[in-house]
Amino acid sequence: MKNIDDYKNKKILVVGAGKSGINVAKLLKKLGADVWLNDAKPLAENVKSELLNNDVNVIEAKQSAELLNLEDFDLVVKNPGIFYDNELIQEAMNQGIPVTVEVEIATEVSEAPIIGVTGSNGKTTVSTMINDILNVDRKNGHSYVAGNIGVTASTVTPSATKEDDIVLELSSFMLQGITELHPHIAVLNNVFSNHLDYHKTRENYVNAKMRITENQTENDYFVVNFDNPEWVELSKRGKAKVVPFSYDAVSKEGAYVFDDQIFFKDEKVMDVKDIKVPGQQNVQNVLAAIAVAKIMNKSNDAIKKALGSFGGVRHRVQYVLSYMDRDFYNDSKATDIEATQVALRSFNDNVVLIAGGLDRGYTFEKLEDDFKNHVKAIVLFGETKQLLSQTSSNAGVKSIKVVDNLEQAVNEAWSMSDEGDVILLSPANASWDQYDTFEQRGDEFIKFVEQKTGRKEVTK
């Protein structure tokens, strides 16, 4: 861990006691700061005891501007999911108190080089693929994956050495709060229109994503999906060397597909048929991972060894099990329209879709063609079920069921399915109307499928 004095004797308020808040609070104590950790909900007794034993002050109270009166704070570290229009955050900024996020502090102490991955969809898969490749036949050090993937950066960076690598999955919420974070390699997998309730406009959302490259120099690399003209233009914003990847072989200066084979520049790396996870989106994910691997001088054998056995990431078009010639897939991570479009295009016209969730104020016309081409029946639940029912009807889906919860949805989907069908949970919505996280929603889906079929989830 780099020894830095930036936080020594500073009074720091950490807002939000999730995993990132708890771990950054402990890291800041190691760096000599006086730390207060606030959460609106009471902390578990064991967590609270550990924090107090580490001399972290715990404040269980509403996240109101009044908390800033407790001390003359030098810095506020907010949970990435807390909106910037939160009254505490607004008042801190009004008072000129800097506001940052956990990943910014975590990377400041890292001796290991950082590979940052962002995108509206696929960033967890790409991050995992890169990490798997970097650990194949490795002689020195280790590659670690952290960030938005569920392992906080501040639990990894303090112990990583110069011999290691850290692959960070970076959400727009995280990137919005960074100022100095500097990945040696940055990846932009794609950009759609997500989280507009948080960022307010698409322009703000795109600008947040592009912060991944703002601190890069000519000695760094920016790996960008060239299959969309907008993303090609975005690649020109930074100073780093641009390394493209393209399913449509728009550019052959990086990773691309030609004649069902994957190349990096003029070198064949592997065959598309050797990719084990379904869909064009996963070929694009592979291309991004290969581009990074080749920059890192990994051999084709190492790439093929890692990707040839890669079975997917939990909750992301995850194969669950088969029963009576039906295949069940869990795509609970599909919290937006584009992710569900990608999932549906991975299959033919035999999908019994389960969808619905938090109403964020948008409508679903963009899904009509995909419903028409891929969905034979649909079961809907959550706040958006009536909106999706109308879209399904407009698309000509003949079998539409509206239910109250996910357990009912699994039972109805089974009743509506035939041999050879795919039963797919791909909600096109966030989970927060009925579940705390998309992971919880996906786990519940798997549980209900296991109960219905009497079989267990297939794991590696």
Cite the annotated binding site for ATP by residue number.
119-125
Question: How many angstroms separate the CA atoms of 216 and 225, rounded?
Answer: 18
If residue 124 lies in a helix (H) or strand (E), which one and from where to where?
A: helix 123-134
Q: Are 295 and 329 in contact (CB under 8 A)?
A: no
State the DSSP string of 297-322.
T--HHHHHHHHTT---BTTBSEEEEE
Question: How many angstroms separate the CA atoms of 187 and 451, rounded?
Answer: 40
Rounded to 10 degrees, what is the CA torsion of 164, 244, 370, 209? 60
- Name the binding residues: 119-125
Angle at 175 between CA 171 and CA 178, to 5 degrees: 150
Question: How many angstroms separate the CA atoms of 308 and 270, rounded?
Answer: 9
The values of phi and psi at residue 452, to 5°, are -70, -40
* Beta strands in 67-164, from DSSP E residues, in sequence order: 75-78, 99-100, 114-118, 143-147
Residue 257 neighbours by CB under 8 Å, 6+ apart? 246, 247, 248, 249, 263, 272, 283, 287
Look at the block and give the residue holding tokens 């020594």. Answer: 8
How many Å separate Cα 154 from the centre of its chain?
17
